[in-house]
Amino acid sequence: MTYVRLEIPLEDIDGSNKLHLANWEALCEKWAFGLRGLRLTIVHLPNLMTLSSGGGDSAEKRGASLAAICPAPGAEGSRVNYPWIDAGLKKLEALRRLEVELKTTMLTDNQKLDWCEGLKGMLSRGLQGGKEDVEIACVRAKVN
């Protein structure tokens, strides 16, 4: 397999479920030497039960869940270990193109771009062998 489109819930890579994170890491290990292109859609939707019960979902809480998988550029904690990146994405030695889409209603387009820039920074500081020939793009699905 050389090119993959994958949609994954944020909760599978944010570290809150160790089994899901281990599955992500195992998948990246299997793809390490053959996968050349990955379009990754990270889905982050509000907890409908919390919203319907009037509990709401604060901006701080929303930002914290995305910060759990990657900081915005220049954010405090940018040197923190992010297992889904360090033990996952960085293992993809054959990777030449990564497209990332954040599917969430909780962030503006500019906030999504900031988040993607943070991810680019994290990846550029340690893809296997310090490779800089991986093209990383932040994408948005076209809505009809």
pLDDT of residue 29: 95
pLDDT of residue 24: 95
pLDDT of residue 122: 78
**Residue whose entry in the numeric block shows the structure tokens 């195992």:** 26
Parallel/antiparallel/unpaired status of strands 37-44 and 97-104: parallel
Residue 100 main-chain phi, psi, to 5 deg: -125, 130
- 110-144 pLDDT, tens digit each: 888 888 888 887 777 655 555 557 888 888 876 54
b/e per residue 65-104 (b: at least 16 CB within 10 A) = bbbbbbbbbeeeeeeeebbbbebbbbbbeebeebbbbbbb
Most confident of 19-23, 41-45, 129-133: 19-23
